[in-house]
Amino acid sequence: QDEAPTDDASVAGADAPPDTSQAPVMVPSMPPPAGATGESLEDTIRTLEARLDQLIDAAKRDPSDPAKPHIDRLVDRLREAATPPRADIASERDDASVDVSKEMFSSDFYLRQWGRVALRDRAEEVDDMGYDPDQDARWRPLFDFLYTRWWRVEVEGIENVPADGRVALVANHSGAVPYDGVMLATALRREHPNARQLRWLAEDFIFHLPFAGAFLTRLGAVRACQENAERLLRRDACVAMFPEGVKGVSKLYRDRYRLQRFGRGGHIKLAIRTRTPIVPVAVVGAEEAHPLIAPSGLVARMLGVPYFPITPTFPLLGALGAVPLPSKWRIVFGEAMPMDGYGPDAADDDVLVGRLNEKLRGTIQDMLERALRKRASVFSG
């Protein structure tokens, strides 16, 4: 490297004879440290960038400029430092795609045109949790077709659901695309003697998907949290809960109908606090509607969701691959577990909550296995 001389004569400057062996190199004086003149660090950096641009432009205009070799070397070093290793290029592009996707689906335009704001404003009658009876009625023909013709749903034990009053339906969560909430609601509307309306708790990630969150909210889905569930039960509603959460719908096809962990028993605590009976529910058939063979991490990150399903037909067949397979469904409602025999302090008893949670999980697992033994074929039942 070329360094300026540092002996005493050159520092003094006045007594040393001038060196005329080479042309002088004009280097602009450096700006004072940040803060010395009231400038912020950001302003100082901008000043340096502007002076560096001037030097580069001058070197380009005059190839004989003595400073040109120094400027070229500095530019090469800056370019080298700014170029990421090849192994990081794909990751950097992925992160940029994720940022663009998240920004697009959270923009004001999207929210006004297609998001929750637009759907709420276009509805004439919506309750405080977003349910729109007109929207529900508009989509019923499609759900009835799926229920009666496509999946040919068979229901067993519907009489175990109380005719009125609060009740919690606790079911296994199955299928890479969770249609189970909609089908449970259709079953109660069509098969229950009192045609009970169902409000089901949907995972938080669904409300980050384009259109899906607002659409399901208007059909009766509610964002899953203790506060929303308790508010519904205090109103004597029929509420469906899926304690497996994302782990249930994101499990691979080889793990179908193997119940995942039921969390920490929040649904049990809620039922005890509100004195709500729990009806165990087993749903068979949803796992085969969209067999999950692998998750896509990149697409999931772009959409801001925990997983993105890859099935034998999707995305291989494009939009056609998103059509669910016509598997035969069976929904079994078990006997209710009463919770009114426990005192209000029982919800804080972790041992009791854990025991009831495992009992409920075991009951649903047994119901699944019995239903699986009854069917002779995935598609004919």
Q: What is the pLDDT along the chain (381 residues), one digit of tens a residue?
A: 444 444 444 444 444 545 544 444 454 455 555 455 556 666 777 777 777 777 777 766 777 777 677 677 766 666 655 554 444 444 444 454 445 455 555 556 555 555 555 555 455 678 888 899 999 999 999 999 999 999 999 999 999 999 999 999 999 998 878 899 999 999 999 999 999 999 999 988 787 666 788 889 999 999 999 999 999 999 999 999 999 988 888 888 999 999 999 988 999 999 999 999 999 999 999 999 999 888 767 766 776 677 777 888 888 888 888 899 999 999 999 999 999 999 879 999 999 999 999 999 999 999 999 999 999 999 988
Nearest-angstrom CA–CA distance, 20 and 43: 37
Residues listed for the chain: 381
Residue 376, exposed/middle/buried by CB under 10 A (0-12, 13-18, 19+)? exposed
Beta strands in the chain (DSSP E): 154-156, 167-171, 198-202, 221-223, 238-241, 278-284, 294-295, 309-310, 330-333
Cα 371 from Cα 286, distance rounded (Å): 13
Cβ contacts of 54-63, under 8 Å, gap ≥ 24: 54/28, 55/28
Whose CA is closest to 166, among 237, 258, 226?
A: 237
Rounded to the nearest angstrom, the gap between the alpha carbon of residue 328 and the centroid of all alpha carbons in its chain is: 29
- Preceding amide of 315 cis, omega within 30: yes
Q: Which tokens is 204 given?
A: 């938080």
| 122, two tokens | 């276009």
72: tokens are 């070229």
Q: Which residues pair with 200 in a beta bridge?
A: 221, 240
Say how many C-beta atoms besides its own lie within 10 A of residue 356's C-beta. Answer: 22
State whether residue 209 is helix, strand or coil.
coil
**Residues in CB range of 9: below 8 A, 6 or more apart:** 15, 16
The residue type found at 346 is A
Q: Which residues have CB under 8 Å from 39's CB, separation 6+?
A: 31, 32, 47
CA torsion through residues 240, 241, 246, 249, sign: negative
For the beta carbon of residue 279, count every other beta carbon within 10 angstroms.
22
